[in-house]
Amino acid sequence: MRRGLGPSRPRAIRSLLAAILSLGSCTSSPVPSDSPGAPAPAPAPVTDGAAECPEFAAVPSPGALTPPEIVEASGLAASRRNPGVLWTHNDSDAGGPLVYAFAVDGARHLGRWRLGGAEVHDWEDMALGPGKDGGDALYVGDIGDNQRKRREVVVYRVAEPAVDLAAAPAEHRLAGVERLVFTYPGGQAHNAETLLVDPVRGDMCIVTKSRGGSAVFCAAAPLTSGELTAAGELGVLGLVTGGAVSRDGTLVALRTYLAARVWRRDPSRPLAEAFRGPDCDLPLVLERQGEALAFAADDRGYYTVSEGAAPALHAYARR
């Protein structure tokens, strides 16, 4: 384990990225714990209640996302209201503001839902979190800004609809879509591809995508439009392309194109504090351009998917 978030780190530390990503377990261990005959590493002493690294492993893929419209799968979320259902969306969708549902079993397409009144600039991630009515809501982050010119970013929130796994795929319309508008401190512009929503508290964080170290900006629940609060910088992770919070709020994961990491946290604490503790490696199947990660609804695993036509849904389970 190591401490993951804090003030900006020296460039010399960031140059160790390749070595860090090659480790197969917690970074405090000089030998990966899954190496034959290697002793299990002792958990690093921490003060925030974090335990040893959770262990996951890749399992057979459930299948490929076959709808021809899904060519830039950029976000992923596992439904709790609809067991066995996953949500995704495109980076930029010619069809408009759409989210797609598919079954975990076989990655079967279940339909698409149009967000009434929403716009698509650069949708980069999605999450499930608390809704106004006490149920779950879908959160979609229009937070991409490759040119770093946007004065504000938008997060759409709408009550998660019911999905009929037995019905033929069709298009539906979602009403009551909320538009939450956020700015970064000092009027700065950032490119970001990661939206995190705490299912327990309702806090939200955006993690930027930058070669010089990804920054974390957060808003505390209840969410309203306004300026985000700077929560620190991830100095050695690399280009962060996606992430998720587990259903019970105890795990937060971030991924890049080549690697993934996970932090344990106290779910009673603000999400902005999640990266102050030690972090561990997560297994990640090499994908063409992987940008999405979501924990399973039962927290017993997680899923990843890449951009591209008919991308494979990759699955991982706790050991």
Domains of the chain: 2-34+44-318 (2.120.10)
| Structure letter (DSSP) for residue 107 | G
User: What's the rounded Cα separation, in Å, for the pair 189 and 191?
Assistant: 7
The residues near 274 (Cβ < 8 Å, ≥ 6 apart) are 5, 196, 205, 245, 252, 263, 265
Most confident by average pLDDT, 18-22, 38-42, 91-95, 260-264: 260-264
Are residues 192 and 124 in contact, defined by beta-carbon separation less than 8 angstroms? yes
Name the token pair of 53: 């690294």
Kindly report, residue by residue over 136-193, the tens digit of the pLDDT: 999 999 999 999 999 999 999 999 999 999 999 999 999 999 999 999 999 999 999 9
pTM of the full structure: 0.85
Q: How far apart are CA 298 and CA 295, in angstroms?
A: 8
Q: Which of 124, 98, 121 is nearest to 111 (CA)?
A: 98
pLDDT in tens, 208-235: 999 878 999 999 999 999 999 999 998 6
Nearest Cα neighbor of 100 from 170, 28, 185, 35 is: 170
Torsion of CA 180, 221, 229, 224, to 10 degrees: 30
Position 38 confidence tier, pLDDT thresholds 50, 70, 90: very low
What pLDDT is attached to residue 51? 56
- Mean of the per-residue pLDDT values of the chain: 87
Coil, strand or helix: which one is 223? coil
Q: What is the pLDDT of residue 171?
A: 98
- Give the per-residue SS3 of 273-292: HHHHCEEEEECCCCCCCEEE
> Which comes out higher in pLDDT, residue 72 or 44?
72
Q: How many percent of the chain have pLDDT more than 70?
A: 83
* Cα Rg of the chain (Å, integer): 18
Count of all residues that appear for the chain in the document: 319
